Homo-oligomer: A and B are copies of this chain.
Amino acid sequence: MAYRPTARTEATRLAHRQRLLDAARQLLSEGGYAAASISALAERAGVATGSVYNHFASKQELLAAVFRHVAGHELTAVQQAVGATRGAAEQLRTLVEVFAFRALRAPRTAWALLAEPVDPLVEAERLTYRRGYHTLAEMIIAAGIEAGELPVQNVRLSAAAVIGAISEALLGPLSPVGERTDPEPVVAEIATLCLRAVGAGGT
């Protein structure tokens, strides 16, 4: 007779999986991918090292799952803040502010999400996740053109440029080897750059 999981073993399995994901998120926030070794993950989660592979095919699969979880959470926060705002310029400013302040408040995690060299599986997640931001910026810019608030422009190019500008401007302030800087002026400067780029003037 084949082994059939009972409700109880299934609940234990899900709990272990969740503990591994939580442990990975903590380790990521402390030392990036480099800190998330299989042994460190297992120890932090309080499970046997070998049991990691009962839940994930490889460490890369686990890191990709954590990436999706954390990056998805960030994207949702930005989307909700933008959705609560009106007007292209204010929505774009909100996008920059929520993205950048959240990143600067959790710099090690943000560095891992945006830039830390990592294997191709997580890299592929990074590209997918950036497209989520592109789509959000496209919606803002298209509505701004429609409303006559922004000049006519190639919406996809402008949206990608804005997301690229925000991410890359944050690389210096987020770099694990850089000095920590005051977030306020950094975020204000990035917002001004992005608003000017799409022709919204900025202030």
Q: A-side interface residues toward B, CB under 8 Å?
A: 115, 117-121, 123-124, 126-127, 130, 153-154, 156-158, 160-169, 171-172, 185-186, 189-190, 192-194, 196-199
| A125 and chain B: residue at smallest CB distance | B117
| A34 and chain B: residue at smallest CB distance | B120
Can you name 19 extra interface pairs (CB under 8 A) apart from A119-B120, A194-B197? A117-B124, A118-B123, A119-B119, A153-B192, A154-B185, A154-B186, A154-B189, A157-B193, A158-B189, A158-B193, A161-B166, A161-B169, A163-B168, A164-B164, A164-B168, A164-B169, A165-B197, A168-B168, A193-B197
The oligomer's copy count stands at 2
CA distance A202 to B154 in the complex (A): 15
| A164 and chain B: residue at smallest CB distance | B168
Main secondary structure of the interface of A (DSSP, over half): helix
CA distance A118 to B124 in the complex (A): 9
The one of B127, B157, B166, B189 in contact with A169, judged by C-beta atoms closer than 8 angstroms, is B157
| A124 and chain B: residue at smallest CB distance | B117
**Residues of B contacting A123 with CB < 8 Å?**
117-118, 123
CA distance A120 to B154 in the complex (A): 33
